[in-house]
Amino acid sequence: MAEAAIPVGLVGAGPWAKMVHSPMLAAGPETRLAGIWARKPEASRDLAARYNIPSFEDYDDLLAACEAVAFAVAPEAQPQFAARAARAGKALLLEKPPGADVAGALRIAEAVAGAGVPSMLMLSYRFSDAVRAFVGEARAFDASGARATFISGGLLAGPFAFGWRLERGALLDLGPHAIDLASATLGKVTRVQAHGDPLRWVGLLLDHESGAVSEVSLSGSVGIPQAKVGIELFGPGGTIAVDGMTGMGPAVFANISAAFAACVRTGTAHELDAAHGLYLQRIIDEAERQLAAAR
């Protein structure tokens, strides 16, 4: 007999909630969308009406109606609501970056650890079948170094060219994906050196605990029709690479929903949990500090 779908509440009703979170959670079959709460009640009501589900005016009412909570809010808002959900015993599907700064990410990580609830960071590219296979291959590959990229035109126009993304740029927005991919294949980052302009182009030189180094290029201000996301590893045995855009689509979000449901059912954190989000945020914070000092 199939297990009942896990009721997941959604916090946020903006573009990402409309395009990704709500259809992903509603599609299941491991999850069902139990209701929506947003700081703009009218946006919450409009989105909830699409799925004929409740739009809650009180955040605590949303928490009472679900077993887990997914977040599609700005980085500065997520720590407050995520920590509150964790203390209420809810599993968390977190947006990246977890916070606007290390303090925000730490607030979530401490709340998750204190409550003992499972968490997962929505680093979507890591749930692609192609990337999953590549990470397994890369961990057995003797790499000396790597080049990782996340280049797009997302900050030039479109549904995400506003707010914190335009203020903070590619490092905070796209950096978590690329740094995570470099870490997954080469090991934890032990040092970062940054240069450039977050609103135009940022370059990162990362030292990894494996002894390998990587170069990461980030930009959200390049006029190209499709984002370029990926990593190429180099070593004595040659080179291996993955195009992160391969297979991106409904199958990836089905993988995310299934992985999160497994975390909720087993009560265990995902590899990409709140602590991992804090790790990524610390690297970004140091890179931002260097960029600010160089201005």
CATH number for position 210: 3.30.360.10
CATH number for position 261: 3.40.50.720
Domain residues for the domain of 41 are: 6-124+250-273
Summarize pLDDT for 72-107 with one digit per residue, the tens: 999 999 999 999 999 999 999 999 999 999 999 999
> What's the pLDDT band for 3 if we cut at 50, 70, 90?
confident
Is 256 in the same domain as 216?
no
Q: Residue range 187-195: average pLDDT?
A: 98
Closest CA to 84 of 48, 44, 45, 37: 37
> What's the pLDDT band for 44 if we cut at 50, 70, 90?
very high
Closest CA to 276 of 67, 77, 122: 122
Is 95 in the same domain as 41?
yes
- The verdict on residue 36 lying in a domain is yes
What's residue 2's pLDDT? Answer: 67
1 pLDDT exceeds 60?
no
What's residue 142's pLDDT? Answer: 96
The CA-based dihedral angle spanning residues 37, 42, 48, 49, taken in that order and rounded to the nearest 10 degrees: 160
What's residue 246's pLDDT? Answer: 87
Is 119 in the same domain as 141?
no
- The verdict on residue 85 lying in a domain is yes
